[in-house]
Structure formats: C-alpha cells, structure tokens
Amino acid sequence: MNTIEKYDYRPNQVARGLINHKTRLIGIVTPKVSNAFHAELISQIEAEADRAHYNVIISNILGNFENEKKTFRIMKDRQVDGIILLHENTPDEMRELEEIVDFPIVLASVRVKDSLLPTVAIDDERAAFEAARYLCQLGHVRIAGVFSDSYSTGTLRRKGFLEGLQSWGIDRNSISLYTTECSFGGGIAVATEIKNQKNLPTAVFFASDEMAIGAINYFQDHGIRVPEDISVFSFDDIELSGFVRPRLSTIHQPIQDIGRKATDLLIKLIDEKPLSQREFLLPHQVIVRDSCANPRD
C-alpha cells in the first residue's frame, strides 16, 4: 500500500478490461450529438455514468441504418458493457441490432414498437393528447399537426394528438397532418407548405421544439405573427424554448430524469440485477408560455 501511494500507482484499465471482461464503458448511440435535446441527454448520461465510475463513448449514426449496425459492431469489438440508444428503429431493425451485441441495451427518450428492451421515456401519446386538448380549449378548430416518420415522434404522438382533437369533437376535415424531420430545417419546410394552404390553420402542433423554432422563424419572415395569427405548441422543452421569441408553449420532457434513470437501469442490467419493470414512463408536463393564443376569428 505504501508503495502504491509512493509511486502513485494506477492500474491499467485496458488490462483490467481484458481479464474482467468488463470495460466500464457505456456506448451512447445517437442520430446526431449536436441535436439540442440529445446533447442535454448525453450530458446527463455522462454525469450519471461518471458517478458510477463508468465512461461514455459516443457515436453519431446520422440516420443511416447501415451506419448504426456498423456502430453496434464497433461497440461490440470495444467490449463496452452496454449501450444507451437514443434512436428509434423498426422492430425488425431493432432485432438485427440486438443480434449483433451480447450486452444490454436501454432505450432512452424513444420507444420501439413491440420491443422488449428496457425503456425510459414519457407517455408520448398522452402528452400529445393533452397538447391537442390545450389547443382546443383555447378555441382552435382549424389545426395542423407536424410529426416525424418514426414511432415516438411520429405514430405515437400523432395518435395522441388526433385522439385529443377527436375527444373535443373537432372535425377530421379541419385537421391537416404533415411529416418532416425533427430539426430547424424540417420546421421551415413544413411552414412553407402550411403557408401555401388555401385556408391557414389557426394553430399548429409540432412534435419537437426545434421544428417549431424553425417554423416560427419562417412564419415571422412571411408576415405571419405567432401567436396572433397562428398559435404554435411543441414538444421537448429544451433549454432554448424559454429563450426564443415568442417563448414556446410546449410539453416538458424530464430530460435529466430520463438520462439518469436510463443510466441507472443500464448499470443494473450490467450487474445482472433484476429490473422492477421493463418500461419507465416518466411524468411530462404541459408548459404554457407565449406561443399560443385564442384564434382571432
């Protein structure tokens, strides 16, 4: 012990990894690290992993499934102890990925249809339902919804949104639906389409804050005021949403809790401890700020 102190001996983690078959490395697989929502999540995961003496390897897969498979193979070669996946796949794709690795995978902030993988997320359907009801409450009738083509930010939120409107008795014909990417650019693209509609909706629900910010930008550029001419409600509550103008009314996702819980769950699985449940749906919140108003007509 004295000698250890004296020479400041520190064991070589690579050698330990080889003998223990544990690297204390967690892989985070994400479509794009620089996405604001993911960056916050990654930051949180790193902090929680650090507490448990794990380190974190990140990887951008840039929306390409071949890339994602390659990444899983690399993580396997590197002998990471587990993966936190921030990306959705079809059930078939998911099965392909699971076959590549022999360590646990946890889904964070996303859900995969029919998957048996441990998941930490929110109730997307319920949250979108509440968002839709909020818009109805304000008096909106001609409403648009903008979603992605994936499961959580697409199917699930669209379903909840539609059910919310229906439960208020909104006519399906006065609802228009759009599909695009969860990015500033995606929002702009849809805003362009919406503007060219004959009959402008009085409110638009976006499945992500970044979409909403892009769209609001476009609306403002073209003389459409938010919320005076059009109300905007979105989803995620990234830090930024309180700093743009108008401040976004949005669904708050507990990013910190999701990151922390997903990390804890993965570590439990690595330690082969039993899980009390497979799916953790953390509480969301409807945040009312300045991007919604009553319709003018």
Partner DNA sequence: CTGAAAGCGCTTACAG
Q: Is residue 19 near DNA by the rule CB under 7 A?
A: yes
Q: Which of 46, 88, 124, 125 binds a second copy (CB under 8 A)?
A: 46
What angle is formed at CA 45 by the lines to CA 13 and CA 76, rounded to 5 degrees? Answer: 50
Residue of 128, 96, 94, 122 lying closest to 109 (CA atoms): 122
Q: Is 68 helix (H, G, I), strand (E, B) or coil?
A: helix
Q: Which of 51, 95, 222, 245 binds a second copy (CB under 8 A)?
A: 245
What whole-number distance in Å separates Cα of residue 72 and Cα of residue 80?
Answer: 10
Q: Where are the alpha helices (DSSP H) in the chain?
A: 2-7, 13-20, 36-51, 65-77, 91-100, 124-137, 157-167, 184-195, 209-221, 255-270
**Listed ranges 11-19, 108-116, 266-274, 277-285: which one lies at the site for DNA (CB under 7 A):** 11-19
Q: Which residues contact 237 (CB under 8 A, 6 or more apart)?
A: 209, 248, 250, 251, 252, 253, 255, 285, 287
Residue closer to a second copy by CB (options 174, 183) is: 183
Q: Which of 55, 64, 192, 197 binds a second copy (CB under 8 A)?
A: 55
Q: Is residue 11 near DNA by the rule CB under 7 A?
A: yes
On whether the CB atoms of residues 259 and 107 are closer than 8 A, the answer is no
What whole-number distance in Å separates Cα of residue 233 and Cα of residue 161?
Answer: 12
Number of residues located near a second copy, criterion CB under 8 A? 45
Q: Is residue 148 near a second copy by the rule CB under 8 A?
A: no
- 287, interface contact from DNA, a second copy, none, CB < 5-8 Å by kind: none
**Listed ranges 19-27, 126-134, 214-222, 251-259: which one lies at the site for DNA (CB under 7 A):** 19-27
For residues 79-108, which are near a second copy according to CB under 8 A? 79
- Give me the 174-203 binding string for a second copy, x by CB under 8 A, dash otherwise: ----------x-------------------
Copy the structure tokens of residue 95: 């099965």
* Contacting positions for a second copy (CB under 8 A): 10-15, 17-18, 23, 25, 32-34, 36, 39-40, 42-43, 46-47, 50, 55-60, 62, 73-74, 76-79, 184, 213-214, 217, 220, 239-240, 242-245
